[in-house]
Amino acid sequence: MRHGSTEWAARGRHTGRTDVALTAEGEAQARAAAGRLTGLGLHDPAVLCSPRRRSARTAELAGLDARTWDALAEWDYGDYEGLTTPQIRELVPHWTVWTHPCPGGEDADAVESRADLVLSVAESHLPGRDVVLVGHGHFSRALIARWVGFPVLEGRRFALSPGAVTVLGYERGVRQIVAHNAS
């Protein structure tokens, strides 16, 4: 699940380490997610969320008792923190987080390693319970890509709205996307 909307996200500012609050709309999105989660009929869910308050507050408003985990933090944008894509492209034409490095931050290989760790830990819980991960836009999209065996680069193909839920699962032992970007 992606956290609800923030002022920075609404303005297109890359928000990794900066700890911004949810907007009133973001809080409403988080409350609305509670119904979607209830509808899933989760079994004894292990709930993990990013340590950023926008994610922790989203989990709280969605009725989840979450434990924070640094590995679920957003992509570290380094020197590009707080900038919009058009501002970054003034410096680096055609820049995207998926295809170019973030000086002073993470590159796609680092994010891929972190996503694989998160999925490994989450998957280890699945035989006995469901897992809910509450995080951020880019990193959650990286998780989705890695779940189905794609490189992090392919996270660019998965839109993920603020407060939206994606359900990952299996069919006959094969990882799949069961539902995506439900809001």
Residues with a known catalytic role:
3, 74
Instruction: Kindly report each contact of residues 157-161 with a partner whose C-beta sits within 8 Å and lies 24 or more positions away, as own/partner.
Output: 160/2, 161/2
d(CA 88, CA 93): 8
Backbone dihedral region of 149: left (phi > 0), alpha (psi from -120 to 50 degrees) or beta? Answer: left
Among candidates 171, 170, 166, which has minimal Cα distance to 181?
Answer: 166
Cα torsion at 156, 161, 163, 167 (round to 10°)?
-50
Distance of CA 176 to the CA centre of its chain: 17
The half-sphere exposure of 81 on its side-chain side, counting CA atoms within 13 A, is: 14
Based on C-alpha coordinates, what's the Rg of the chain? 16
Q: Which residues contact 43 (CB under 8 A, 6 or more apart)?
A: 129, 130
